Structures are given as structure tokens and as C-alpha cells.
């Protein structure tokens, strides 16, 4: 009997993943990862609540369960990078790094120490025996965007029981099995922020450096609270009101040298669009699909839940230029550009500059 260690978060997805694997005849072990130990603004540590839910899930499934603390690894490998990116005026995606460094790093290593043949998660993705990564069958829940930094060797020893399911089916399986988390609300946003307001959270770690908001002509409009609190394409929270021609204002760029936030009016302003982007730190799931210097046609997403966009990649080592067939709005440095051939996730990179 093959042994599989399932990463249990206390949510319905990972619970159903464990249930399905047990029904398929695996020897299932539940493992809860405590990656963040701080309490929220109400003094609640959600990790304690989630661990209680994991114990309830494993009792219902009659499987052994363990808790492991990866808070130090998470802080060193994910959170420090998150803060460094914001210091440099970029907008990072820590979930991508968490999957590479923690779930397919520290967690996978720990699972092997427990004698596991496989690790498993509740991600809505699929993989084949060769270690290729594919989108989940539920297009609304597909999470391949967040796993593009994984490697074929890691994927070959990973199981994704939910890959062929719709979210509604997962909920129904949980209800039918009487799992105690069948109606538990899905977690959203960045795990270590929880229900807190992002701005208030970030203020705890990075000193604010207020500066000027200016128009594309350099006209002073107002003051900003710190460049780190704003992202490209943002409309809400600017506090400008009816200045200019009455249309809404949007963040079009950041002048780091002068600590200025650049704003334009109208959601379709040309400065909100880019025809290309420079990407760096490119990684591939299962081999490099193209040669350096030769444009390669593919599809990509510049943010989670975006529809696939057609584009061409001209590669140069671990950097490249993405030329978009259609100009893209709010191309944001620090975010991930994830690349596809149909449903297959090829890999991706970090957006460095909108061109």
C-alpha cells in the first residue's frame, strides 16, 4: 500500500483530497503546516482554529495526523522577500513563492522523511506521469498559476485528487461524507494577513514614506501615504475626488527616485496599457520549450484569474521579452507572468518592467 502525506489546511479542499485518497486505497497521513504564528487585529490566531479543524477532519477519516512548524522557513524564504519587494515599489505574489519554498520544499522534504511515496494537496490542478503540470478541470478554481515554479521531479511525487473536480462537487463530497468543514468558508487573500486591512498590516513592518501624487504632466494632485500601498491600475483609495475632467483617477506608475505616484484619468488611458513586458527569473516546469532569441508563440496570464492572452516570448537565458498580441492593462512589476500551451502550464517569470 502506497503511503501519502496530505497537506491539511483545515479547509474543505484538502479534507476532501485526503478523503478521496483514502477511498482509493492509499495509506493516508494528515500533516498540518503552521507557517504563521501571529494573531490578527482581534487577537485571534487562525492557525489554532485551523489545527482544531484538522484534528476533527482526521478523527472523522480515522487517519493519523501531525503538526509541523515551518514559521521560520516561511519567514526566511517567503515573508522577507515579500517585504523586500514592497520596499522596491513592486507588488509581489507570496503564494507563488510559498508553493515553491514551503509546500514543494520544506513540506515535501518532511513528507519523504515520514516514509511517504507521495505528497498530496488540495490544489485544483492536474499532472501527468512525466511531471507536466495542467490546469484544473474547474476553470474558475484552476490554481496552476500559483504552481508554475514547481519542477517535474516534484510533480511526479505529488498527487492532486481535486484536479478533475468542480468546486461544487468538492463541497457535495464533503457534505455526503459528513466532514466537519463541509461548509467552512474558503480562505482568501494572503495567508498571513487574514482579515486585516492590508495597509494596516504593512505599516507594522515597513516605515511609510509619504510623497506627492502627480498627473502625467507633473501637476501636483495630492499626497500619497507611501508608494508601497499602491499598485498599477488602482482606482480606489486615492482620495482625489473630482479633480481634472471628472473621470476617475488611476495609478499608472511609480517614480521611485522622487517618491512620486503617477496618476492618469480614465480607465482606458494609454499609459495604463503596455505592448510588452520584460520578465526575469524565468523557470520551466519540465524543460525549456524554445531557443534563445527566437520568438515563441504561447499564451499567458499576467495575474490570477485573467483569461489567457496570446503573446510571443523572446528568451535570453532566465529573462525574456513578452510581446502581447493585444496591449495589456495594468502590467505590474513583481507579479508573475505564467505561460501556457493550451491547458499545459510551461512555467513563467516575474514581471520586471512594462514596456
Within the chain, all domains assigned CATH 2.40.30.10 are found at 272-354
pTM of the model: 0.92
Asked if the model's pLDDT at residue 38 lies above 80, the reply is no
Asked if the model's pLDDT at residue 28 lies above 90, the reply is yes
Please list the active-site residues. Answer: 98, 191
CA–CA separation, 16 vs 141, rounded Å?
15
Within the chain, all domains assigned CATH 2.30.30.280 are found at 207-267
Instruction: Decide which of 56 and 201 is more confident.
Output: 56
Asked if the model's pLDDT at residue 237 lies above 60, the reply is yes
Q: pLDDT tier at 114 (50, 70, 90 boundaries)?
A: confident
CA–CA separation, 97 vs 2, rounded Å?
29
In CATH, the number for domain 207-267 is 2.30.30.280
Compute the average pLDDT of residues 334-345: 97
Q: Are strands 158-159 and 118-120 parallel, antiparallel or unpaired?
A: parallel
Asked if the model's pLDDT at residue 44 lies above 50, the reply is no
Asked if the model's pLDDT at residue 155 lies above 90, the reply is yes
Instruction: Decide which of 42 and 257 is more confident.
Output: 257
Closest of 315, 348, 351, 352 to residue 150, by C-alpha: 348
Instruction: Decide which of 187 and 242 is more confident.
Output: 187
Q: What is the three-class DSSP state of 12?
A: helix
CATH class of 272-354: mainly beta
Q: pLDDT tier at 334 (50, 70, 90 boundaries)?
A: very high
Closest of 196, 192, 207, 197 to residue 87, by C-alpha: 207
What are the pLDDT digits (tens) for 265-300?
Answer: 999 999 999 999 999 999 999 999 999 999 999 999
Asked if the model's pLDDT at residue 196 lies above 80, the reply is no
Asked if the model's pLDDT at residue 220 lies above 70, the reply is yes
Taking all residues of the chain, what is their mean pLDDT, rounded to a whole number? 92
Q: pLDDT tier at 194 (50, 70, 90 boundaries)?
A: low
Q: pLDDT tier at 313 (50, 70, 90 boundaries)?
A: very high
Closest of 199, 138, 201, 143 to residue 170, by C-alpha: 138
CA–CA separation, 192 vs 213, rounded Å?
30
pLDDT at 240: 84
Secondary structure, 3-state, 225-245 = CCHHHCCCCCCCCCCCCCCCC
Asked if the model's pLDDT at residue 39 lies above 70, the reply is no
The CATH H-level superfamily of 3-177 is HUPs (3.40.50.620)
Would you mind telling me the total number of residues written for the chain in this entry?
355
Give the H or E element holding residue 113: helix 107-113
Within the chain, all domains assigned CATH 3.40.50.620 are found at 3-177
Amino acid at each position: 500500500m502506497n503511503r501519502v502525506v496530505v497537506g491539511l489546511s483545515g479547509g474543505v479542499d484538502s479534507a476532501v483530497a485526503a478523503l478521496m485518497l483514502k477511498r482509493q486505497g492509499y495509506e493516508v497521513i494528515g500533516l498540518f503546516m503552521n507557517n504563521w504564528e501571529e494573531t490578527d487585529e482581534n487577537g485571534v490566531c487562525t492557525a489554532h482554529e485551523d489545527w482544531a479543524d484538522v484534528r476533527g477532519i482526521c478523527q472523522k477519516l480515522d487517519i493519523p495526523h501531525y503538526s509541523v512548524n515551518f514559521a521560520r522557513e516561511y519567514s526566511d524564504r517567503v515573508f522577507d522577500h515579500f517585504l523586500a519587494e514592497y520596499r522596491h515599489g513592486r507588488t509581489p505574489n507570496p503564494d507563488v513563492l510559498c508553493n515553491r519554498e514551503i509546500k514543494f520544499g520544506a513540506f515535501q522534504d518532511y513528507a519523504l522523511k515520514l516514509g511517504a511515496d507521495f505528497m498530496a494537496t488540495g490544489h485544483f490542478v492536474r499532472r501527468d506521469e512525466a511531471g507536466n503540470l495542467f490546469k484544473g478541470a474547474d476553470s474558475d478554481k484552476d490554481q496552476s498559476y500559483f504552481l508554475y515554479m514547481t519542477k517535474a521531479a516534484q510533480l511526479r511525487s505529488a498527487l492532486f485528487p481535486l484536479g478533475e473536480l468542480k468546486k461544487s462537487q468538492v463541497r457535495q463530497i464533503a457534505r455526503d461524507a459528513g466532514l466537519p468543514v463541509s461548509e467552512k468558508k474558503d480562505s482568501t487573500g494572503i495567508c498571513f494577513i487574514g482579515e486585516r486591512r492590508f495597509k494596516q498590516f504593512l505599516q507594522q513592518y515597513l516605515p511609510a514614506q509619504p510623497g506627492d501624487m502627480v498627473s502625467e504632466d507633473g501637476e501636483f494632485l495630492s499626497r500619497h501615504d507611501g508608494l508601497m500601498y499602491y499598485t498599477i491600475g488602482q482606482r480606489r483609495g486615492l482620495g482625489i475626488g473630482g479633480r481634472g475632467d471628472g473621470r476617475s483617477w488611476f495609478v499608472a506608475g511609480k517614480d521611485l527616485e522622487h517618491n512620486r505616484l503617477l496618476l492618469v484619468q480614465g480607465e482606458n488611458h494609454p499609459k495604463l496599457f503596455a505592448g510588452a513586458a520584460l520578465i526575469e527569473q524565468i523557470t520551466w516546469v519540465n524543460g525549456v520549450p524554445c531557443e534563445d532569441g527566437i520568438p515563441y508563440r504561447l499564451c499567458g496570464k499576467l495575474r490570477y484569474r485573467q483569461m489567457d492572452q496570446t503573446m510571443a516570448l523572446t528568451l535570453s537565458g532566465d529573462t525574456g521579452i513578452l510581446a502581447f498580441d493585444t496591449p495589456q492593462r495594468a502590467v505590474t512589476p513583481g507579479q508573475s507572468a505564467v505561460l501556457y500551451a493550451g491547458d499545459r502550464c510551461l512555467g513563467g517569470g516575474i514581471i520586471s518592467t512594462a514596456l
